[in-house]
Amino acid sequence: MPPKYHIRTATVPNRFPAITRSGVIAWEEGCLKCPRCVKRECVYKVYEKSGLDPRHMTESLDHSCKDCFRCVQNCPMRLIHKSLDPKYKALGDDYWTPEIVTKLWYQAETGRIPVSGAGYGGSFSGPGFDAMWTDMSEIVRPTRDGIHGREYISTLVELGRKPMALAFDTAGGISSVSPPRVEIPLPVVFDPPPWSPPRRRINKAFLQGAKALGTLAIISQEDWDPDLEPYVDHTALLLGQGPHTLQPWLVQSLRLVEVPEGAHALAWQETLKEINPDLVVSIRLPLSPKAAERALALARAGVEILHFCANELGMEEGDAPLFIKERIKEIHLSLVEAGMRDQVTLLAGGGIAMAEHLAKLIICGADAVAVDIPLLVAMECRVCRRCAEGVACPVELEEVDPTWGGARIRNLMAGWHSQLLEVMGAMGMRDVRRMRGEMGRAMFFEEMEKDLFASLGKRG
């Protein structure tokens, strides 16, 4: 039996003081000079340890305060207030919310699942992935407790085309040739983010993270640099120009190459296979209303991996775009109907912001998921998109130390892996490959709403 997959983590401290939800405002004028000051009574010694980061003008008061409000309540002159921090409010956007960003930071720092403590007060539904609830019917079965249980839960997936049947020769040996496959122990590959400061160091950090986890990072051809050669085993090269622009040794060393969809895609695949028959080729295409149709055509043409990319908010192209989970469901089901689902690997990405999105997209039919922005967030990105506008990155991502970045990405993925195990344990699943397309094990709010209330609108 192969060794169990386990991600070893260690705390990797932030470079910059983390932005927290609120800030302390304390008036000094009017202080009664009480012999027992609430500041001295702070159980976390926040005021005693306070200091200023002069580069960002941030007080340690803000990021070490645990929001217990004891000082606010007990100061006799009510001189201390708490207020929302404007920097917290400015993190991300409506999709990449400040809560998501700060929880990703926490996971990247500690490698642990973020726990909020006092239960969940709602909301219980919302747009996108929030309109999907996973089955937790086996949550009380301790042997399948994902992280600490006795039964091993596998998160290994294979990328590539799979044979539907084996052929045997007269001597009983297998005569059919098995297509090449790449095994990754976590159903996650790293994708180039839609925006970032110059990527030289960022790519190296992605690759170091991919190496630590045993997975792959997709690196675009124009970003490829001889510095990255030690990581070739964990690189999936995204071709921008034809295969003839690659050195043969590189094609022979790579395990996976991604080709953008287009008239030349299948010809490029063939050329690459001639140089390296063990290479797995993935076709990258945008998620669109015609995606299911394209998926069927490409699967029939012998494509090994279909990589569908939504935008950073998880939406497809078009005038009335669908969210990624809806379109992936459709693609998956159309492949099932055509009897081709198990032949081709479906990779999907765009708008994957949390561990639950990973599990939910797999339930909707993806074999594995491409993650992009969270990897930058692991390295303290604030999703401000200043880099896309040509404004300097507030956390100097272009100068990031790749070793530090790789360790933060490893930690984040360890947190996601633990959460994936939790979800699968609660569903009673022992293999992530079994979870793919298990839509019967999830509830979809839109469908339930339709079932329950559609009849109310009927007349007669």
In the complex, least distance from residue 389 CB atom to other proteins, rounded to whole angstroms: 6
Nearer to other proteins, 205 or 387 (CB): 387
How far apart are alpha carbons 311 and 442 in whole angstroms?
A: 24
Nearer to other proteins, 27 or 249 (CB): 27
Q: Which two tokens stand for residue 308?
A: 């569908």
How far apart are alpha carbons 389 and 97 in whole angstroms?
A: 20
Q: Which two tokens stand for residue 118?
A: 């006092």
Nearer to other proteins, 66 or 300 (CB): 66
How far apart are alpha carbons 138 and 163 in whole angstroms?
A: 33
Q: Is residue 440 at the binding interface for other proteins, with CB under 8 A as the rule?
A: no
Q: Is residue 69 at the binding interface for other proteins, with CB under 8 A as the rule?
A: no
User: First-to-last CA distance in the chain?
Assistant: 64
How far apart are alpha carbons 398 and 378 in whole angstroms?
A: 14
In the complex, least distance from residue 57 CB atom to other proteins, rounded to whole angstroms: 5
**Contact window for other proteins (CB under 8 A) among 40-48, 169-177, 261-269, 290-298:** 40-48
Residue from the set 1, 10, 43, 57 that interacts with other proteins by CB under 8 A = 57
Nearer to other proteins, 196 or 269 (CB): 196
Residue from the set 12, 19, 47, 354 that interacts with other proteins by CB under 8 A = 47
Nearer to other proteins, 169 or 389 (CB): 389
In the complex, least distance from residue 90 CB atom to other proteins, rounded to whole angstroms: 4
Nearer to other proteins, 33 or 459 (CB): 33
Residue from the set 2, 3, 13, 54 that interacts with other proteins by CB under 8 A = 54
Nearer to other proteins, 195 or 445 (CB): 195
Contacts (CB under 8 A) with other proteins, residues 373-432:
384, 386, 389-392
3-state secondary structure of 431: strand
Nearer to other proteins, 30 or 172 (CB): 30
In the complex, least distance from residue 42 CB atom to other proteins, rounded to whole angstroms: 9
Nearer to other proteins, 23 or 187 (CB): 23
In the complex, least distance from residue 412 CB atom to other proteins, rounded to whole angstroms: 24
Nearer to other proteins, 6 or 55 (CB): 55
Cβ atoms of 217 and 236 within 8 Å: the answer is: yes
Residue from the set 39, 181, 360, 408 that interacts with other proteins by CB under 8 A = 39
3-state secondary structure of 308: strand
CA-based nearest residue to 209, from 280, 284, 107: 107
Cβ density class 343-359: b for 16+ within 10 Å, e for less:
bbbbbbbbbbbbbbbbb
In the complex, least distance from residue 399 CB atom to other proteins, rounded to whole angstroms: 14
Q: Is residue 67 at the binding interface for other proteins, with CB under 8 A as the rule?
A: no
Residue 257 half-sphere exposure toward CB, CA atoms < 13 A: 29
How many residues of this chain bind other proteins (CB under 8 A)? 38
Residue 417 CA to its chain's centroid (Å)? 10
Q: Which two tokens stand for residue 272?
A: 């690459």
Nearer to other proteins, 181 or 382 (CB): 382
In the complex, least distance from residue 323 CB atom to other proteins, rounded to whole angstroms: 25
How far apart are alpha carbons 371 and 184 in whole angstroms?
A: 14
CA-based nearest residue to 138, from 415, 362, 422: 422
Q: Is residue 77 at the binding interface for other proteins, with CB under 8 A as the rule?
A: no
How far apart are alpha carbons 172 and 265 in whole angstroms?
A: 38
**Contact window for other proteins (CB under 8 A) among 54-62, 166-174, 322-330, 422-430:** 54-62
Q: Which two tokens stand for residue 333?
A: 């089901």
Cβ atoms of 202 and 190 within 8 Å: the answer is: no
How far apart are alpha carbons 99 and 112 in whole angstroms?
A: 16
Range list of β-strands (E), 109-261: 132-134, 157-160, 181-184, 188-190, 217-220, 235-238, 256-260
The size of the chain, in residues, is: 460
How far apart are alpha carbons 322 and 357 in whole angstroms?
A: 16
Residue from the set 12, 19, 38, 283 that interacts with other proteins by CB under 8 A = 38
Residue from the set 4, 6, 8, 28 that interacts with other proteins by CB under 8 A = 28
Residue 278 half-sphere exposure toward CB, CA atoms < 13 A: 7
Contacts (CB under 8 A) with other proteins, residues 81-110:
81, 83-87, 89-90
Residues binding other proteins (CB under 8 A): 22-23, 25-29, 31, 33-34, 37-40, 47-48, 50-52, 54-55, 57, 59, 61, 81, 83-87, 89-90, 384, 386, 389-392
